[in-house]
Amino acid sequence: MNITIEKITPKKAEEYLGKNTTNRKIRQGSVNYYANEMINGRWKETGQGISFFEDGSLADGQHRLLGIIKSGVTISLPVARGIKKDAMGSYDVGAKRSVGDYLNLHMGEKNANRKAAAICNIVRTFFGTNLRVSADLTVTILDIYRDQMEQVVSFTHTNHLLRKGWIIAAFTVALKSHPDVSDFIAAVASGANLKPNSPELAFSRWIAQSENTRASLNDRYLRIAYTALYAFIKGSNVSLLRPSNIGINYFRKREQETISLLEGELIMLRDRKETLFSE
């Protein structure tokens, strides 16, 4: 086996893809993700690259090559030639590191998995779809919301019902524009002295009833959280929470500066945008 480092231009990527005869079905989401990192200058050189079998056919790297073509960017990658066919059993079968692992192991972040999940939900709040967020972009978003997220995590630490990413995301976004939302969060976290028909009581009851429902990236749950927060800010009474776009759109407008910043960072991912939240 021979390994070299090559500058892969979009033209060379097309040439190498012409030798792609035995690869997996293309996952467009992965192509978009790689292209987005490349065009935004976040692509890092690692040991992963392109590899070819002994007969010259492509063994691994089709998504990276397609990412280069889509982004139009030239990328330096390791290129391995002479891979034996029976080595395919070792490709892409191990446990992958998550963004939470990266935040914890390389950034020293506490509660890293909760923060990573919350940031995915912040992106979903702003763009109405589930976009794959890289570790570097996660750190960028975390830096924007760090003070608020640390405060939310500390509030919710003692209440296991509030440790979900969608709840931490909604609380964080709301707290950034309305510091007095901390009163809402503290009341929900403690569960003490909740007033009848208050948004705090309505939300506490709602999450208790929904405890066993999976909702890591559930749009209905996000709308519920923002509806309760919006009602608190407006001083409205609430007896029963129902999902609405009013609250989430209110906070999206409040965070338009951050949304505009992230639009450029996610430019290659947003060609699969779904319109889930009306303007």
How large is the greatest C-alpha to C-alpha distance in the chain, in angstroms? 73
Q: What is the pLDDT of residues 76-119, one digit of tens each?
A: 998 989 988 765 544 444 445 578 876 887 678 899 999 999 99
What pTM does this model have? 0.70
In the chain, where are the structural domains located? 2-84, 109-271
Please provide the distance, in angstroms rounded to a whole number, between the alpha carbons at the two ends of the chain: 55
Nearest residue to 165 (alpha-carbon basis) of 107, 109, 110, 225:
225
**Six token digits for residue 55:** 């007969």
Evaluate if residue 164 carries a pLDDT over 50: yes
Q: What is the pLDDT of residues 10-47, one digit of tens each?
A: 999 999 999 888 666 788 878 888 888 888 888 877 77
Helix (H, G, I), strand (E, B) or coil at 6: strand
Helix intervals (H) in the chain: 10-17, 28-39, 62-71, 99-105, 112-127, 135-156, 165-177, 181-190, 199-209, 219-234, 245-254, 256-265
Please provide the CATH number assigned to the domain covering 2-84. 3.90.1530
Average pLDDT, the chain: 85
Nearest residue to 206 (alpha-carbon basis) of 161, 155, 153, 149:
161
